[in-house]
Amino acid sequence: MKITNIRTTPVLAPLPRPVRTASGTIDQFPLVLIDVSTDTGVVGRAYAQVYLPELLPALERTVSSLAQMATGLPLAPRDVHAHLLRRCRLFGMKGLLGVALGGLDMALWDAWARARGEPLARALGAELRPLRAYHSVGLYDAKEVVAIAEETLAAGFSGLKIKAGFPTFAEDLAAVRAAKRALGNSTALMIDYNQSLSLPEAMARCKALDDEGLEWIEEPVLADDLAGCARIAEALTTPLQIGENFHGPSEMRAAIAARASDLVMPDAQFIHGVTGWLEASALAQTAGLPMSSHTFVEASAQLLCATPTAHWIEVLDAAGGLRQASLQIKDGMLLPWDTPGIGLEWREDMVARYRL
């Protein structure tokens, strides 16, 4: 089976509500939809994402450029991945090029599993199972967060993650305590600083939050400040979470060596797709680190089923407004789709509506 064509479609995907962080607001999710066609008629689907709409045309061109290097090759995702790494070795696989590789790799594996008529997890040798799911939202103050917590409970999630990083720590603390009160003791609460704090400020705020019963504190300082992360992790009893900005498995390996966190949550795209995720999963298993996901809920659901130290699945549904199937949350767990591949089928009417 050979790859005959790879189509890319840039869209600004709709979201139920804007995602506000300490660094800015995402009103619509800029995505590049990727459709891999083969000479047997099998089509694999995935997407790449970038947070800034201004960069969407550049990402689409980058995916298309990598697609040219893969077209005509046999549909063997690991071999294609290795081929692209060799071709791009002099330039390096970070930034938009790494993002494009991750999205394309997911689409190739989706096609590979579809050709076998199996969900990706089962094709990888794992069985589908429910995954502990948390609702991932933006930055909300103490008044606004109550409604978000109530929505989380009504939707049946096991946890809620809110953004933090208000101008004052008092605002962070008030939002955390209001969310905890609204959620009760049976639903976990995580916070995410999105790299917004200096090391001294992060140390002060995180230590002050250490007795608030949080499931984790995420990315308080710059993602590549592994030494700073390690200092914070050592100082806290609350687990420190990082990983969504690991650009490939090598960066996760470096973070583990630096003891930069208690938990890891690679992004299926940034970690270089399914191929990179499988390597990252082995690293987490060897280090004994619980491993969660970041966005890309469709691929992540399949991959976490094949991850020995699987922890939480993040539900921030970037492509939900373009996808045919809805997510299934039951008793706090996400139920992965028992359909071939990762389960993505586009709503073509919505794709046409939101196409850039």
Query: Catalytic residue among 163, 180, 247, 311, which?
Result: 163
Give the residue from 181, 205, 211 showing the smallest Cα distance to 192.
205
Residue 244: alpha-carbon gap to chain centroid: 6
| Structure-block tokens of residue 200 | 């001294």
Q: What is the largest CA-CA distance in the chain?
A: 60
Contact 133, 331 (CB under 8 A): no
Q: CA angle at residue 240 from 180 to 273, to 5 degrees? A: 110
Query: Which residues does residue 313 pair with via DSSP β-bridges, in sequence order?
Result: 133
Q: Which letter does DSSP use for residue 239 in this model? A: P
Query: Catalytic residue among 135, 247, 294, 311, which?
Result: 294
Q: What residues contact 327, with CB distance under 8 A and at least 6 apart?
A: 297, 315, 317, 320, 334
Query: Which residues does residue 191 pair with via DSSP β-bridges, in sequence order?
Result: 162, 217
- Concatenating the DSSP letter of every residue in 161-181 gives EEE---SSHHHHHHHHHHHHH
Whether 94 is a known active-site residue: answer: no
Whether 180 is a known active-site residue: answer: no
Which residues belong to the active site? 163, 294
